[in-house]
């Protein structure tokens, strides 16, 4: 169920899990649009030659996933701030899940704070962060 305003939200609400497209084709599309084209993002072998576990989903793409998740949950949300910490690589072609929970809420301003994590299939946190968004009253 999507959220229309701040009154629809309670502290501790869990956002619907979002499984983003981490395929090589989609990452290639992203890095082209972002002008971030580099073999470490689009070529597993080249990435391994750099000592990486495989081609990487760029950090800025993971951050984009987090923002998209918030918009899917609350289409009218105005994102004010997204802060992400990259703890471990998100590898291209490996499924990951975006999770979010509301950890602060101010009904007067309509602002919510959301904890966000990117986890892999093993449930390990690869990226975490927080976002602040304003919802209509």
| Interface contacts to other proteins, rule CB under 8 A | 11-12, 18, 20-21, 26-27, 29-30, 32-36, 50-51, 58-61, 63-69, 71-72, 75, 78-86, 88, 101, 103-104, 113, 115, 117, 122, 124-125, 128-130
CA dist., res. 28 & res. 124, Å (int): 25
Q: How far is the CB of 34 from other proteins (least distance, A)?
A: 4
Q: How far is the CB of 30 from other proteins (least distance, A)?
A: 4
DSSP-assigned letter for residue 55: S
Element (H, E) at 4: none
Classify residue 134 as left (phi > 0), alpha (psi -120 to 50) or beta: beta
C-beta of 29 vs 137, nearer to other proteins: 29
């Amino acid at each position: 169920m999507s959220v229309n305003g701040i009154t629809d939200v309670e502290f501790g609400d869990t956002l619907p899990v979002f499984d983003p497209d981490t395929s090589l084709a989609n990452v290639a599309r992203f890095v082209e649009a972002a002008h971030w084209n580099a073999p470490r993002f689009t070529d597993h072998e080249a990435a391994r030659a750099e000592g990486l576990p495989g081609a990487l989903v760029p950090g800025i793409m993971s951050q984009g996933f987090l923002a998209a998740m918030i918009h899917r949950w609350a289409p009218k949300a105005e994102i004010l701030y997204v802060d992400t910490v990259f703890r471990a690589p998100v590898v291209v072609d490996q499924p990951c899940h975006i999770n979010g929970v509301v950890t602060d809420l101010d009904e007067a301003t309509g602002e919510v704070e959301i904890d966000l994590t990117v986890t892999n299939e093993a449930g390990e946190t690869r990226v975490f962060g927080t976002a602040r968004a304003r919802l209509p009253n």
